[in-house]
Chains A and B, each alone.
Chain A
């Protein structure tokens, strides 16, 4: 099979895996939250979430009717063949998945308000490129729901306030978001760079598995502190009150300009859908996050 078709098939499988099966770490975090929840209302919500996950797997249906915006992360080995065909392959995979899985058509022209009907359009599916050494292509898909997207925020903080300014920014974002992003959510947080860089890093941080803290121990400590603080809000599952408002907090950073302290908070709903695969030049595909056959 030619290279482009292999990439298309792999991307199709990744989208299908992502929208039907939640990654193991997210499922485990939701199960743990259910076990530990003390609020009756919160517990009922978590039970419904777990039942829904099971039903989606059983009937091979998308977990949520909002199958999100399709975003790819492509880490391309410089020696991977036919890199110029990858974009087209990912677009074709998105069209096919929309029809065959099926997905809800979620790509709308902001000027004419017209829905393309197939989840593709200008810049969509969006591809985040990264060039690496070697000859493999590592593809990750995130299907990002609208409810959690609507509460993502960026800001430029006062550099003199330091990390305390960031902590305040995060807590206020969580409180303002309330029930809207379908909690328990995952928070991707980033500081530094510029506002665009911070949001890009924050969103990418949503892909990190929940059981992997930041390798920098100081940042890992900040993640833990913000995780506990966010869960102290008491917003709870679906905003009905309870112990679990967030399932995880991931912090990333870039160096900043002396006069600026850009910050970003990205939210992902409990249906935190992602799937990844590594494609080798010889055409073999290794699925990294999902063992389920699709």
Chain B
């Protein structure tokens, strides 16, 4: 296990050094996007329209934050990750088109995303579910927000972060997926459990 501290924009070369089980902290810019923002971003790309923020080398964060406005300025109060599997249907195109280098969320992602990460050079960083204050404290500044018409949880929040993490590298850019590995060993363990409890499958 190696601990990496990377600054955005992150290059393909830098991200390809990371392997599953490494730990990553990010300093720089991360942008939130959930289901609706992913869908709209891909529509923009298709229509040849530019995104309101250039995502190249940045991290996309599956998160619907709790935000409040203090003296006309947005503040992130709590910003834990949401379940990433819902974004599986968009993420391969998203990585390919916008060249994001890190996808942050919880619960893991599937084969399509894993393949895209290997092909274009990106990793999946699992952030601890529920650790909303840990995340919020690493957000130093809300640089901006776009697409607020989608509602605050679904908007693109542009966060300036310092040592945002720990992110467990659970999918690397070499085709390894920790969640798939865990699922495989759980299948094996199920047999042992049934045996121990004297159960018939």
Residues of A within 8 A of B (CB): 40-41, 44-45, 47-49, 51-52, 55-56, 59, 61-66, 102, 104, 145, 147, 164, 167-168, 171, 175, 178-180, 182, 225, 229, 232-236, 238-241, 269-271
Pairwise interchain contact A147-B190, C-beta atoms closer than 8 A: no
| Chain B residues whose C-beta falls within 8 Å of the C-beta of A147 in the assembled complex | 83, 129
**A–B pairs, 6, beta carbons within 8 Å:** A41-B178, A63-B133, A145-B130, A180-B83, A182-B106, A269-B129
Pairwise interchain contact B185-A238, C-beta atoms closer than 8 A: no
In angstroms, Cα B56 to Cα A3, docked, is 60
| Known contacts A48-B131, A238-B126; is-contact A61 B78 (Cβ 8 Å) | yes
| Chain A residues whose C-beta falls within 8 Å of the C-beta of B21 in the assembled complex | 40-41
| B166 within 8 A of partner (CB) | yes
Stretch in B94-102, B111-119, B192-200 with 4+ CB within 8 Å of A: B192-200
Q: Identify the closest chain B residue to A237 (Cβ).
A: B128
In angstroms, Cα B78 to Cα A102, docked, is 11
- Rounded to whole Å, the gap between the CB of B122 and the closest CB of chain A is 19
- Rounded to whole Å, the gap between the CB of A61 and the closest CB of chain B is 5
- Rounded to whole Å, the gap between the CB of B184 and the closest CB of chain A is 10
| Chain B residues whose C-beta falls within 8 Å of the C-beta of A171 in the assembled complex | 190, 193-194, 197, 199
Pairwise interchain contact A179-B65, C-beta atoms closer than 8 A: no
Q: Which of A52, A175, A233 contacts B131 (CB 8 A)?
A: A52
In angstroms, Cα B133 to Cα A269, docked, is 16
- Rounded to whole Å, the gap between the CB of A46 and the closest CB of chain B is 9
Pairwise interchain contact B128-A175, C-beta atoms closer than 8 A: no
Pairwise interchain contact A52-B132, C-beta atoms closer than 8 A: yes
Residues of B within 8 A of A (CB): 1, 21, 23, 64-66, 77-80, 83, 106-108, 126-134, 136-137, 166, 168, 170, 178-179, 181-183, 185-186, 189-190, 192-194, 196-199
- Rounded to whole Å, the gap between the CB of B79 and the closest CB of chain A is 7
| Chain A residues whose C-beta falls within 8 Å of the C-beta of B129 in the assembled complex | 147, 179, 182, 238, 269
In angstroms, Cα B68 to Cα A90, docked, is 26
| Chain B residues whose C-beta falls within 8 Å of the C-beta of A232 in the assembled complex | 189, 192-193, 196
| Chain B residues whose C-beta falls within 8 Å of the C-beta of A61 in the assembled complex | 77-78, 132-133, 136
| Chain A residues whose C-beta falls within 8 Å of the C-beta of B106 in the assembled complex | 179, 182, 238
Pairwise interchain contact A240-B178, C-beta atoms closer than 8 A: yes
- Rounded to whole Å, the gap between the CB of A119 and the closest CB of chain B is 14
Pairwise interchain contact B130-A270, C-beta atoms closer than 8 A: yes
Pairwise interchain contact B1-A40, C-beta atoms closer than 8 A: yes
| Chain B residues whose C-beta falls within 8 Å of the C-beta of A241 in the assembled complex | 178, 181-182, 185
In angstroms, Cα B106 to Cα A179, docked, is 8
Pairwise interchain contact B128-A48, C-beta atoms closer than 8 A: yes
In angstroms, Cα B179 to Cα A47, docked, is 19
In angstroms, Cα B11 to Cα A100, docked, is 44
| Chain A residues whose C-beta falls within 8 Å of the C-beta of B182 in the assembled complex | 234-236, 239-241
